[in-house]
Amino acid sequence: MRILLAASEVFPLVKTGGLADVAGALPLALKRLGADVRLLMPGYPAALEAATHRRIVADLGDHLGSGPARLIEGRLGDSKVPLLLIDCPRLYARPGNPYLGPDGADWPDNPRRFGLLGFTAARLCMDESLTGWRPDILHGHDWQCGLAPAYLSAWGGVRPATVFTIHNIAYQGVFDPSWLDFLELPERMMSVAGLEYYASISFLKAGCWYSDKITTVSPTYAREIQMPLQGCGLEGLLRGRAADLSGILNGIDDAIWNPAKDSYLTHRYKPGDMLGKARNKTALQRELGLPMRPDRLLMAVISRLNDHKGMDLVIHCLPDLLMHHHCQFAGLGSGSAAFETGFKELADHHSHHMALHIGYSEPLAHRIMAGADVFLMPSRAEPCGLTQMYALKYGTLPIVGATGGLIDTVADTERGGPKGAGSGFVLEETTPKALTSAVLRASALFKDKVEWNRIAAANAGLDFSWGQSARQYLDLYSSLLRSRGGA
């Protein structure tokens, strides 16, 4: 089966969030299952530099007013997965974050930048002369790839089957309708039965409307986005397409998130080895300047700092937990000024119990995951969430909001869950009171070392591998091809 995956960020080349982890790991897992998979992404400077075995494969010409563009083929790291990069300096040769300028605002030409991504994905599906290869399946990820199936629909002809994955419905790529012309899409698509969204253009809606199948990254989120609370205005469309919508949990990359092989740790340990983990706790406390007390419950956050992630609840609860309940806290993240300031003020007041690193640090993220006792993720919305799965693997008990993929991956130690045995703590509601109560439950259980270690060791054996998720994607692709064959 030939599969073209398209995404706007891919780990380890360019990453701002979980999408990059998925786009980096899924193609490798599909390849291991025997699929002929290729990956398409914009040729940001970091991606062009990091791709190995680079060569120019096609001149893409000048489309959508983007200036001259070429298609460069490389490899994703050491893997055999071909990586196709759209080398279009006018659109992509910019520093830093793929979506935002240095002022923190979206690049004003994002419709063109990601329009070209969808346009090129669609061309690769229809024009074999570009690479000598044509996919059976086009699998686009998030709004940045939403226009690809729209172009295929506009152009007509024999096209591959299309799958579109929503990683977070809150990000929709909504732009002024005047862009339609620049994007070389027909006027008729600017309709409710098309990519129109409240008189604007929505790239995400285009992906949902024109793809054969829609997936999202957990079964619970697939249900939630059909409801007004989480549907962000697309709930009606998604309910109408319920038969084509499913949830497939993301996996975690065992080569990167595995305490036994983790090169960022001074003390590597086998998943479930709680003595090995204890050494990492001491090392982390030393590194962060916290008292090296094994008996203190060390809580951690590694996150974007915003209220989707429930970080206001963490800020609210921390003083009481640090001052009156003998907890420690290690925080790593960045976000809006208000959240960063909120955390910094707490860190100034509670420097003896709390360490904070504002920014992005892959090494520190790994060491925090290995050293902490509990991982706080009181999200209000969480399509899948990866960090709670890393926590489970690293023997760190997650405390999570009752939403999306968190429900599908964490079972409460008192109430159980879909996977049966309890693995962490699930908030009863998304309030400061519920978060404090969950931390206090964790703190009480933490005193029972035998039971705590038993749960943590059992968690480390749970299977969140990409192999499992990739098999579900392959089944979906196969059923889609079968249904098209039969049509």
- Span from 17-25, 276-284, 321-329, 339-347 in contact with ligand ADP (CB under 6 A): 17-25
Q: Would you say 18 or 378 has its CB closer to ligand ADP? A: 18
Helix (H, G, I), strand (E, B) or coil at 393: helix
Closest by Cα among 120, 164, 114, 170 to 144: 114
Residue number with the smallest Cβ distance to ligand ADP? 18
Could you tell me the smallest distance in angstroms from the CB atom of residue 465 to ligand ADP?
16
What the block records as the tokens of 15 is 């990453």
Q: Is 18 in the site for ligand ADP (CB under 6 A)?
A: yes
Q: Which of residues 330-389 bind ligand ADP (CB under 6 A)?
A: 332-334, 360-362, 365, 385-387
Q: How far apart are CA 77 and CA 352, in angstroms?
A: 42
251: amino acid identity, one letter: G
Burial of 294 (0-12, 13-18, 19+ CB in 10 A): exposed
What the block records as the tokens of 34 is 């025997």
* DSSP structural state of residue 431: S
> Within 10 Å of residue 112's Cβ, how many Cβ atoms?
23
Q: Which of residues 19-58 bind ligand ADP (CB under 6 A)?
A: 21
Q: Which of residues 305-334 bind ligand ADP (CB under 6 A)?
A: 332-334
Could you tell me the smallest distance in angstroms from the CB atom of residue 369 to ligand ADP?
8
- Span from 124-132, 298-306, 310-318, 348-356 in contact with ligand ADP (CB under 6 A): 298-306
Could you tell me the smallest distance in angstroms from the CB atom of residue 427 to ligand ADP?
16
Could you tell me the smallest distance in angstroms from the CB atom of residue 332 to ligand ADP?
5
Q: Would you say 361 or 436 has its CB closer to ligand ADP? A: 361
What the block records as the tokens of 171 is 């990000």
Could you tell me the smallest distance in angstroms from the CB atom of residue 459 to ligand ADP?
17
Could you tell me the smallest distance in angstroms from the CB atom of residue 304 to ligand ADP?
5
Q: How far apart are CA 27 and CA 107, in angstroms?
A: 28
Closest by Cα among 250, 5, 234 to 117: 5
Could you tell me the smallest distance in angstroms from the CB atom of residue 385 to ligand ADP?
5
Could you tell me the smallest distance in angstroms from the CB atom of residue 8 to ligand ADP?
13
Could you tell me the smallest distance in angstroms from the CB atom of residue 370 to ligand ADP?
12
DSSP 252-312: B-TTTS-TTT-TT-SS---TT-HHHHHHHHHHHHHHHT----TTSEEEEEEEEESTTTTHH
Q: Would you say 6 or 365 has its CB closer to ligand ADP? A: 365
Q: Would you say 131 or 387 has its CB closer to ligand ADP? A: 387
Please check whether residue 247 is in contact with residue 217, taking contact to mean a CB–CB distance below 8 angstroms: yes
Please check whether residue 12 is in contact with residue 19, taking contact to mean a CB–CB distance below 8 angstroms: no
Q: Is 302 in the site for ligand ADP (CB under 6 A)?
A: yes
Q: Is 264 in the site for ligand ADP (CB under 6 A)?
A: no
Phi-psi region of 112 (alpha: psi -120 to 50; beta: other; left: phi over 0): alpha
Closest by Cα among 118, 179, 187 to 152: 118
Q: Would you say 69 or 427 has its CB closer to ligand ADP? A: 427
Total residues in contact with ligand ADP, by rule CB under 6 A: 16
Per-residue contact flags (x/-) with ligand ADP for residues 387 to 416, judged by CB under 6 A: x-----------------------------
Q: How far apart are CA 197 and CA 208, in angstroms?
A: 12
Closest by Cα among 196, 246, 194 to 225: 246
Q: Residue 145's beta-bridge partner residues?
A: none
From candidates 1, 12, 17, 307, binder to ligand ADP by CB under 6 A: 17
From candidates 153, 211, 303, 423, binder to ligand ADP by CB under 6 A: 303
Q: Would you say 385 or 422 has its CB closer to ligand ADP? A: 385
Residues near ligand ADP (CB under 6 A) are 17-18, 21, 302-304, 332-334, 360-362, 365, 385-387
